[in-house]
Amino acid sequence: MKRSALLVGAVVVLVGLAAGLASAWWAGGHETIAEAAAARLPDEVPAFFRRGGRHLAHFAVDPDRWKNKNAQLLRRAEEGNHFLDLEDLDGRQPPATNRFDYMKLVYTELKKDPNKVGLLPYSIVENYERLMVAFYDHRKAPASEAVPMAALVAGGNLAHYTGDAAMPLHTTRDYDGRVQPDGTVKQKGIHAKLDGFPEKNKITPEEVCRGLEARPIDDVWAHVNRFIAESHTHVGRCYEFDAAGAFDTPTNESRAFVLARCRAGAQLTLDLWYTAWVKSANLPGHW
């Protein structure tokens, strides 16, 4: 059902929310995916969030800003949040409890560095839960001027990691080339080619969002891990397109492939945003 435009005036003063889609811009693909997802939010989601596409897009790039080379502690803490090298799990499933149990598993049983294997599912679900809490606060204090800002930041940050999950090279140790028996790396540079493809080839938020509909998720943890596993199945196709030069000189097929991955990221983002709103209705009090 339609929600009233409660607090629109206050929120506009705070964050300058604007309806509609901006022209596409690119920072690792995340802005386009976030803005596309915002365009398809159903009316039951609060108006400040539905109209916040440009702000969600800005906040979707924050996790890359946190990797600034002079933010040494933050950069180190952030670096593993963007990927999951599924081959390095040796068939294990990340535990659904928390990232610390996962880090213990990787360190003690697999004898690997969790920051090198990756922590992507935790980044997604933790930020989903931050958004769910912010939506709960909005339900309890709809006149608050601070809560909409908190929700937009949490939602935008979440969109960064869902965008990462849709990029197949964020699910593999072969993220930027494949090591050959002689130690050389074949197809090095593929990552940057795929990351830059949407901007260079003018994939727009309007095109990404077309026909998407929000779907509630029952088990968020399981859904996110299935999504990452499905994204991993496209790694080989990425290398085939690159070997054929189809990222450098796009074909209809390579453009359709990248568009489909952007749409998958937007769908996951949209579904998690919507689920966070739905499930916030049944959260217990914080204290």
Question: For 124-150, how does the pLDDT look when each residue is reduced to its tens digit (9 = 90+)?
Answer: 999 999 999 999 999 999 999 999 999
The answer to whether position 67 is within a domain reads: yes
The CATH number that applies at residue 51 is: 1.10.575
Neighbours of 109 (CB within 10 A): 10
The number of residues making up the chain comes to: 287
Residue 195: φ, ψ to 5°: -60, -40
Tell me which of 3-12, 54-63, 190-199 is least confident: 3-12
Give me the number of domains the chain comprises. 1
User: What pLDDT is attached to residue 30?
Assistant: 85
DSSP 175: B
The answer to whether position 14 is within a domain reads: no
Q: Who wins on pLDDT, 78 or 29?
A: 78
Name residue 186's beta-bridge partners.
178
The answer to whether position 227 is within a domain reads: yes
CA dihedral for 147, 58, 165, 268, sign (positive or negative): positive
The answer to whether position 19 is within a domain reads: no
Q: What is the residue range of 265's domain?
A: 36-281
Q: What proportion of the chain, given as a percentage, has pLDDT over 70? A: 90
pTM over 0.95: no
The answer to whether position 26 is within a domain reads: no
The answer to whether position 113 is within a domain reads: yes
Tell me which of 4-18, 191-205, 246-260 is least confident: 4-18
The answer to whether position 101 is within a domain reads: yes
Closest Cα partner for 213 from 3, 17, 45?
45
The answer to whether position 20 is within a domain reads: no
Calculate the average pLDDT of the chain: 91
